Amino acid sequence: MIVLPAIDLRGGRVVRLRQGRAELETVYHDNPTVVARRWVAQGAEWLHVVNLDGALGAARSKQSARREPLNLQHLQQIRAAAPDTPIQFGGGLRTLDDIELVLEMGATRAVLGTVAVREPELMAEAVHRFGSERVAVALDARRGLVVTHGWLETSDVTAVALGLAMSERGVRYAIYTDTLHDGMLDGVNVEDTAALAHATGLRVIASGGVATLDDVLRLREQEPAGIEGVIIGQALYGGALSLSEAIRAAR
């Protein structure tokens, strides 16, 4: 199982939000490249980078990735600083052009959320055009229902239903976040994560709520169900656990 340290970007800085709420922001560093180098030095096999300005701004102004130059510049800089480390990148990606742009700028895999609900056939086209290894769906859910537009809107689609629809369209990877746990350090939702993987056949990366090594170990126990990895943010930045020990636990 892979551990992916999170690098959430807002205004060019590395931040963490609680439950995705912009007003509950903690700034951890002004230089994302320094943070990326730190995680790579500690053994990171992947980096999970999120353009929060894209995710949150898209809800207000329907901006495309091409209008978010600052965080995309940081993506390029992170790629240059960590040339051999795969990067998973998401936030505000709405079109095939957006996907192509971030892949060109250094992302290994692009993550799409809102568009999967609004335009599911675009996901099929993305898989056809870029390959199933280079795109993933974000299944962000609150009480079982998928949330979109930076988690500001709640759909009437369940995470399992959307996961099945994505699997039918050739998507292979999903990031599942129980948004009520994100940034709260109150434990990852292992049960729903494993159930989602089992029901959809997707390779699921867990996100949200990781607090201790026990969370990592519980997820690893469910790896046969289809758990691909775990994204860790707040616990790493707050010092609750180290990346190196999380990686050892995941293995």
Asked if 166 and 140 touch (Cβ cutoff 8 Å), the reply is no
Could you tell me the CA-to-CA distances from 105 to 52, 81, 156 in Å, in that order? 17, 13, 34
Phi, psi dihedrals of residue 116, rounded to the nearest 5° = -65, -30
Contacts of residue 131, Cβ cutoff 8 Å, sequence gap at least 6: none
**Residue whose structure tokens are 């939702």:** 189
Question: Would residue 8 show up in a list of annotated catalytic residues for this protein?
Answer: yes
Question: Angle 51-13-153 (CA atoms, 0-180°, nearest 5)?
Answer: 35
| Options 8, 98, 178, 182, the catalytic residue | 8
Element (H, E) at 222: none
Q: Per-residue DSSP letters for 52-70?
A: HHHHHHHHHH---GGG-HH
| Options 53, 98, 140, 182, the catalytic residue | 140
What sections of the chain are H helices per DSSP? 32-41, 52-61, 69-81, 96-104, 114-118, 120-130, 159-168, 190-200, 213-221, 234-237, 243-250
The Cα 75–Cα 94 span in angstroms is 18
Asked if 92 and 63 touch (Cβ cutoff 8 Å), the reply is yes
Question: Would residue 182 show up in a list of annotated catalytic residues for this protein?
Answer: no
Asked if 5 and 229 touch (Cβ cutoff 8 Å), the reply is no
Q: What amino acid positions are annotated as catalytic residues?
A: 8, 140
